[in-house]
Structure 1
Amino acid sequence: MGAYWVTVLDVTIPILLTVLAGVAIGRWRRTDTRSVADVAMYVLAPGLVLHALVGGDTGGEALAVAEFTLVNLAVLWAISAVTGRLLRFTRSQRAALALTTLFSNAVNYGLPVCLLAFGQTGYRQAALYVVGQSFLLFSLGVYLASAGTRGPAAALAEVRRTPVIYAALAAAIMAALGWHWPGGLDSALGLLADAYPALALMVLGLQLSKTDWRQGLTGLPLWTGVALRLVAAPLVAKAALWALGIHGTLASVLFVEAAMPAAVNAAVFVEQFGGERSQVAMTVAITTAISFFTLPWLVIAS
């Protein structure tokens, strides 16, 4: 079996089935999607960050990963802002566009792909990218999601109430001091970390179960978001890697992570804070569905 079909069967099919499970439970049961999103954002996500950061060996690659992450995000943000203004999107539509353009599904999708394609070395490098993007996602991402329906002050207040920010800061201090979690606590955090991807994907499924597909599949903001995430994002990533002089396996890993479909967390955030729910959920769903076919080729080309 070729590498393409191995990637499809071992990575993308499990993700698709988990999303469909969320769709099914949303159709058959009266489920409070926001409560499920609260569990993912306020309990499982901090556990994931604390478990991933403490005790990890970042090595000299951390600086290169940080540089790439910031440059890549800045360029994508500029492209998203200019595009939204030129197309005369509303404030909430521009916020949703930025949310799905800037942040890729690096955790739930990217980590398994990198493990399969590049082995343990690639997985470790991908984890560095995930930590940086998680910090930005749960700070800037929360701000963007909140700013879509609230003013800047209220959006910043939501960022301050986001526990992942404090979890990342605490974990960074512990890692710098060389501290480790006691065995039992580390195991508990590991359970939370392992539970997060599946629950985040099911939140997406729950949102999709309540989406009017006839209305959801139309609209310029939606397809603009799809184009920016699947076309512009990989091109920007390649350019950033070239400009920063990053090569080898690290470059391949960063390219694949940056080329992932829109982050599932974007759907979690708009469920939590309001905004263009249909636009974000459908952008995540469509980019994920298309990536089932395109991402294996990106892995091969990386």
Structure 2
Amino acid sequence: MSFILIVIPVFIILTVGFAGQRLLNLDIKSISTAALYLMLPFLAFQTFYENDLNMDYLYILLFCVLLLFGLILVSFIAGRMTNRPHSKTPAFVLAGAFMNSGNYGVPVILFAFGETGFQYAVIMMVIQSLLMNTVGLYFAAKGSKSGGTLKASLVKILKMPVLYGSIGGIVMQIASVSIPDFIYNGMNLIASAAIPTIMLVLGMQLASISKKNVKMKELSGVILIRMVISPVIAYAITVLLSLDSLLASVLIVLAAMPTAANTTMFAVQFDTEPDLVSFSTLVTTSLSIITVPIMIMLFS
């Protein structure tokens, strides 16, 4: 029951976004742009600024990089098997390689593994945020219909304020810079609006999906990568690195989380197969009600 209570708020926000789009036919791109350019930079800053860097980061960083590399490789293979590899491959990477380890994964880990597991989950959330706001943005830009060259993709990344929010948070955390409460409280208000807005955008995008743009074969491939292959690769990495059993269990369960909602926002912003990415997020989130408890039973 506790696990279901964690998931319910996600579906409430998705439903509001879905209903709002059906009734009002809002401009999804404008709301997505506001979230990406105005809200997400403050959330990224807050994430890095509030979490102390320590040696645990090195082990979890190595795990995350190896997992991401493995999932990108699998996604490339899957994307090349489609009829439009230019846009499909980056979409497979977005939907398959980036999990919802933050607003979904962290409370699940707290429920299943307690305070120590929670601390590990927060560290992974921070690292995943950094990877998503760099590598994830790169693949979103690469799959854009307006141009996917390396130079064009890097230029688009450098124009993203979320990158500088992340860097600013890291620098000020390392330098132990104290921000006055009257300023930081305002920043936190903007940051706290990011996740609900992203979930609303996801719900709105789901209401606008054209079924002909989402093929069952491609959707099945993403689900397989995200829900099955990802935890298998994660397990292999934890064995390779000889990680502590609790840390290994936390990382494996987090690797089985559904597709991150941020990927929908990136896909909408850069027009990188937004229907496939958003529908993958919905389906994997729905399936996680069954799959994540199984993972917890196996590894808790």
What is the TM-score when the length of structure 1 is the normalising length? 0.92
- The Cα RMSD (Å) is 1.7
Q: 2:71 aligns with which of 71, 76, 79?
A: 76
Contact 1:47 1:193 in 2 (8 A): yes
Q: 1-side partners of 2:115 and 2:59: how far apart?
A: 19
- Pair 1:277 & 2:280 matched: no
Shift, 1:223, TM fit: 1.5
Q: 1-side partners of 2:264 and 2:48: how far apart?
A: 24
2:3 alignment partner in structure 1: 7
Q: 2-side partners of 1:259 and 1:196: how far apart?
A: 23
Mapping of residues 249-260 of structure 1, within 5 Å: 249-260=246-257
Show CA shifts across 1:214-243 (max 9, x none): x35633222211111111111111111111
Q: 1-side partners of 2:182 and 2:127: how far apart?
A: 26
Aligned pairs, how many?
Answer: 296
1:181 alignment partner in structure 2: 179
- Pair 1:121 & 2:119 matched: no
Q: 2-side partners of 1:244 and 1:14: how far apart?
A: 36
Structure 1 counterpart of 2:130, which letter? F
- Pair 1:206 & 2:204 matched: yes
Mapping of residues 109-258 of structure 1, within 5 Å: 109-148=104-143, 149=145, 150-152=147-149, 153-213=151-211, 215=212, 218-258=215-255
CA shift in 2, pair 1:115/1:188, >3 Å: farther
Show CA shifts across 1:55-105 (max 9, x none): 422332111111111111011111111232245552101110111111011
Q: Bigger shift: 168-177 or 55-64?
A: 55-64
Q: 2-side partners of 1:296 and 1:48: how far apart?
A: 28
Q: 2-side partners of 1:16 and 1:50: how far apart?
A: 26
SS at match of 1:146: helix
Q: 2-side partners of 1:123 and 1:192: how far apart?
A: 24
Contact 2:227 2:256 in 1 (8 A): yes
Q: Bigger shift: 99-108 or 48-57?
A: 48-57
Mapping of residues 9-48 of structure 1, within 5 Å: 10-48=5-43
Contact 1:103 1:263 in 2 (8 A): yes
Structure 2 counterpart of 1:6, which letter? S
Q: Bigger shift: 63-72 or 46-55?
A: 46-55
1:57 alignment partner in structure 2: 52
Structure 2 counterpart of 1:231, which letter? V
Q: 1-side partners of 2:113 and 2:180: how far apart?
A: 31
- Gap regions ≥5 residues in structure 2: none
